[in-house]
Amino acid sequence: MASLATAEACDGNTSLLVNGELRVLQPVFKIYGQSHAFCGPVVTLKVFEDNVLVRELLETPGDGQVLVIDGGGSMRCALVGGNLGQLAQNMGWAGILVNGCIRDVDEINGCDIGVRALGSHPRKSYKRGIGERNVPVHIAGTLIRDGEWLYADSDGILISKTELLV
């Protein structure tokens, strides 16, 4: 799947930006992983300081999808670490967006996936298995729904209701 320059996508899709079919996330995420530009259909997950469901999803074939994790913006522990980054790469996920923290930054930076997170934290998360899959999540000023498309590069992150032409 080819990546798309977010600045060019914004310039070429003004009408989609105006009507809300294309949205720009607030610039609050740090860039991790080897893939600085990535895109794919979104799979949503809503958890809070608990990454059991994150692992369960990343153990399934990613098929070029992007896992969007709403961790409630918690800065008290990490939801994704090096083992999960490697798992995501091995299972074919294009990327992971975490509204929260990651850890094992050096390991994640060695993975051939794109990762965006609010920051890093050395503490691991709880293991309770509590959360919701495939639900709308509100992250960085926009509502993101399962099945929408995420486009990320060094300029920012876009969410589109449909796949954009490259």
Annotated binding site for substrate: 81-84, 103
Q: Distance between CA 13 and CA 26 in Å, rounded? A: 18
Helices (H) and strands (E) in the chain, counts: 5, 12
- Are 79 and 60 a contacting pair, CB within 8 Å? no
Closest CA to 59 of 37, 96, 30, 84: 84
20 burial level (CB within 10 Å; 0-12, 13-18, 19+): exposed
Q: What distances in angstroms separate CA 86 from CA 79, 93, 116, 160, one per listed residue?
A: 14, 10, 15, 27
Write out the binding residues. Answer: 81-84, 103-104
Write out the binding residues for Mg(2+). Answer: 104
Collect all residues with Cβ–Cβ distance below 8 Å to 161 and sequence separation of at least 6.
21, 22, 148, 149
Q: Distance between CA 129 and CA 61 in Å, rounded? A: 20
